[in-house]
Amino acid sequence: MHTDGIVVIDGSEGEGGGQILRTSLTLSLITGRPLRMINIRANRTKPGLRPQHVQCARASAEISGGKCENAARGATEIEFTPGEIRPGDYSFQIGTAGSTSLLLQTLLLPLALAGGGVSRRACPPCNDAQQTARRVNSPANLRLSGGTHNAWAPVFDYLKLQYFPFLEKLGIGTKARLLQAGFYPKGGGQIKVEVEPVTKISPLTLVERGELKTISVLTVIGNLNLEIAQRMNRRALKLLGRAGLDAADEILPVPSIGPGVCIIIPAEFENGRACYSALGERGKPAEKVASEAVDKLLAFLETDAVVDEYLADQLLVPLALADGESHFTTPRVTNHLLTNAATIRKFLPVTIEIDGVHSLPGSVRITGARSFQEK
């Protein structure tokens, strides 16, 4: 899709966080519409761009040959003009423990669509016809450095166990490796991701999750005594057992610069999946960390939802680009979900209907912007 005209986004609207910026950059890249964003992260304790947001803006410019004015730490306003997206090999360093997952989610869809030849306009002139051919139907390779296990962002294992499998259902393939974990506050993590080209995104209908098939307990730990992970797993298994639920468990030691531990609990159903996690903190007992993750899963099981509330808002952008109507249910209508829907509507001619009261279970219907697929 190519729609003329700059899009002005007020970052103080809705939940007022960094998600508005990331979604706006993604859709600016895909639609080709320039972006002006004001009041960036106005609702946060430290307003303006943080290092991970700066890198999202700069990386978006780099993969497209575009430009971003005022992409600096603390900036509350930017102007972004996208160019033609170029699949290839890229390396981006956040420089802090800022989330590599959120940076990846900003770039993934634009690179996948460009690699599959779904372009807003013709490729730039190229003297070498074979070089142009290689750019289409070719994967993009990303090496991202920063935080991999952060609060307020999907941990790497969530991407691998939950986000990527659902993208696969939509026809978007990825291959990801954790080279080194980056726990807060040290960071220093590295992930490597191959984004496969896609020419069409399929819609998704998930309204009945079916019977529970499996629950797993995975604890990722770096530079700490393994006994901490063992205590986490024992506590999680005990709590799940009290609820009448069986689970398999695994401890995964990982290389990392700083100490850290994270427990991840995915649950797979006949037609749906949920995944919850909790991060260890200095002074917080391992048992309490495990209890937090289990409590989130048990709360999900009290509903009829098909996907967890985090995936619900992450699915909005790809489904808005799908060819057809999608429908799924969520255990909670969140501010992130409502804000992401409002941002998408400013870029794409989509219909997004969210049926439900804030903080309670709800359902989402999306009619995708099929006309964006200019071949």
Residues annotated as catalytic are 336
- Whole-number Å distance between alpha carbons of 190 and 104: 12
Give the torsion through C-alpha atoms of 297, 298, 299, 305, to 10 deg. Answer: 70
Q: Is residue 245 classed as helix, strand or coil in its secondary structure?
A: coil
Spell 244-275 as b/e; 16+ CB within 10 A means b: ebebebebeebebbbebbbbbbbbbbeebbbb
Q: How far is CA 171 from CA 136, 196, 349, in A?
A: 17, 10, 22
DSSP state of 109: H
**CA dist list (Å): 217 to 13, 178, 246, 265:** 37, 19, 10, 5
Strands 325-330 and 205-206, how do they pair? parallel
| φ and ψ of 30, to 5 deg | -75, -40
